[in-house]
Amino acid sequence: MKNIIDPVPSPSHSRRSARWLALLLASVLLHAIVYQWAEGLIGMPSLHTRESTVITTELKPLPPPAPPAAEKVAVTPTPRPQRAPIRHASPAVVQPEVENLPVTDMPGASAEGPLETPELTDANETPVAEPAKPTVPQESTAPRYKIAPPPSAELKYDVQALIKGQQWYGNGLFRWESGSDSYRLTGEANVTLLFKITVLNFKSEGLINEQGLAPVLYSEKPFRKSLVNTHFQHANGKISFSASEASYPYKGGEQDRASIIWQLASIGRGGAAQFAPGAEVDIDVAGTRDLDTWRIKVIGEEEIDTGLGKLTAWHVVRSPRPGSYDRSIDIWFAPQRDWYPVKVRYTEANGDFIDMSLTAQTPLTN
């Protein structure tokens, strides 16, 4: 009976058999997985991510990084054909016109300033500008007269004035200071009724060179009017005004309303032969708003009464052009008084005048 009937397996034996069976199946499955992974048949999550990086590398030649390089290549050749024709056309078209065009016909070509040719290149500007440079110095450097400025002195005057039909009396002063290469001149005229009124107040200062006086600044304060300045810009070659936007070229030899008197005195001291009855002298004089050519006419020698007694003096006069509202000036220079102006008379267009007659002369030491 024991050999015919198998005994019933115990529970522990069944468990061991199941465990071995599970291990066998797991081993087979693991081998299958390893084999299939090696063959690339099963994709693992980490492998999916690496394959995605491979996909991004395939996008590198696509447009995002490429456009900057592509645009530069496309843009740079575009202006090259445009610039090349301009450079080739410049010597063939512009240059002959510049060479054949007179300087006076160039844009901006005038005696008042440098040539202005903004449309030309630097190479084209050079031959046009150079011919104009020597013209101004050649016309203005040579002195026209012998010059000998009077020595420094303070001159006092009796003043008689006619202002709007009313007679006024007072006093005036010229303070003339001259050195070897510069000068300074101040002047005023006052009238008194119940109180003093300054009817004329001016200042002129500048240099002394081979042409005589070379003003730098002129200031004038007329009666009941604001102070105005006239600037002689030697370095810039320009004369400008605080009371006007006008400007004029400075060539050398120009005077202001005050320095003109002492320039004439310097001409007289430089040689009496330069004064002769009927002689005329043209001098450019800057006022407070513009520049005008004054024609100074020598009337002749006259004997006049002054506060210093009778003096023989050369009478010169400046008359404004017909239709002008500028003042006329009569001046008497006394050779025996170092050609100082012993009498000066300013006459306005409306008939008002200021008459100054010398009463005292005091030398000044520099």
Residue of 266, 355, 273, 279 lying closest to 316 (CA atoms): 279
pLDDT band at 31 (very low <50, low <70, confident <90, very high): low
pLDDT band at 15 (very low <50, low <70, confident <90, very high): low
pLDDT in tens, 40-75: 443 333 333 344 333 343 444 444 554 444 444 444
Q: pTM above 0.75?
A: no
pLDDT given at position 366: 66
pLDDT given at position 324: 78
How much of the chain, in percent, has pLDDT values that exceed 70?
61
* Residue 223 CB neighbours (<10 A): 15
Does 93 score more than 50 pLDDT?
no
Burial 324-353 (b: 16+ CB within 10 A, else e): eebbebbbbbbbebbbbbbbbbbbeeeebb
- Average pLDDT of 197-226? 93
Chain centroid offset of residue 345 CA: 39
Residue of 131, 50, 111 lying closest to 284 (CA atoms): 111
Structure tokens at 47: 């492998």
Q: What is the DSSP string of 137-202?
A: HHHHSS-SS---PPPPEEEEEEEEEEETTEEEEEEEEEEEEE-SSEEEEEEEEEEESSSEEEEEEE
CA dihedral 64, 68, 73, 76 (to 10 degrees): 150
Give me the count of residues in the chain: 366
Which residues make Cβ contacts (< 8 Å) with residue 341, sequence separation at least 6? 155, 174, 261, 262, 265, 331, 332, 333, 358
- Average pLDDT of 250-273? 94
Average pLDDT, the chain: 74
Structure tokens at 288: 């407070």
- Average pLDDT of 353-358? 95
Chain centroid offset of residue 35 CA: 91
State the Cα–Cα distance between residues 279 and 274, nearest whole angstrom. 8
